[in-house]
Structure 1
Amino acid sequence: MGRWAVVVQETEGVGDDRIWGAKVLAEVEGSREDALAELRRIVPTYTPQHPFNGRRRRLFRDGDSYLLITQGSMRDYHCVFKVWEMLWDSKRPEVQQERLAAAGGDSAG
């Protein structure tokens, strides 16, 4: 049984302080299919940080990844959603050590 993270990547901040950031929306213990089911549940109702008042939302899928494009008053913003296998968690290193080794890594960095 694996441990999975449902992740969104989106624009954070405003003006010149904007960055492309990632955030874990959920963690799922189980199969990849379990994690994908959680992804499919979260994505349609997710409210991105930008724009504040979106005029139009369009949701696309490519395999197991989703792209949400929201039209704002001045520009469009987008979010990318994916499921990632969690190989290492510094708060629980003993749980993930075997999985990290199996993935070909020999240290947590």
Structure 2
Amino acid sequence: MAERGSVPRTILDISNMPTIILYIHEKGEIVGTDLKNIVNNYPRMTKLADLLVSLDLATKKIEMKPMKTVTYSLTKKGEAVARHLRAAANILGHYAEEE
């Protein structure tokens, strides 16, 4: 990943990525359009999902019949990342934005 100053960036620096990983982990397998619950911009949504696949954190399956359906699930590596993210979230507690 690119560096910002002297601090290396990770996938966790990408907006919505931890939430996407945890969402897939919670559901087990999702249809790509389910990510609209997190990212409402379709091109960005597919870019983030494909990045997970390219980093071997998720798998992508495309079925053409009866209609085109794209599903994502986490790999073993993705599951390990999700478990660590969940543990960190449990330590940090819930956060609610002020309105």
The structure that is strand-richer by fraction is 1
The structure that has the greater radius of gyration is: 1
TM normalised by structure 2 equals 0.30
Q: TM-score, structure 1 length as denominator?
A: 0.29
Higher helix share: 2
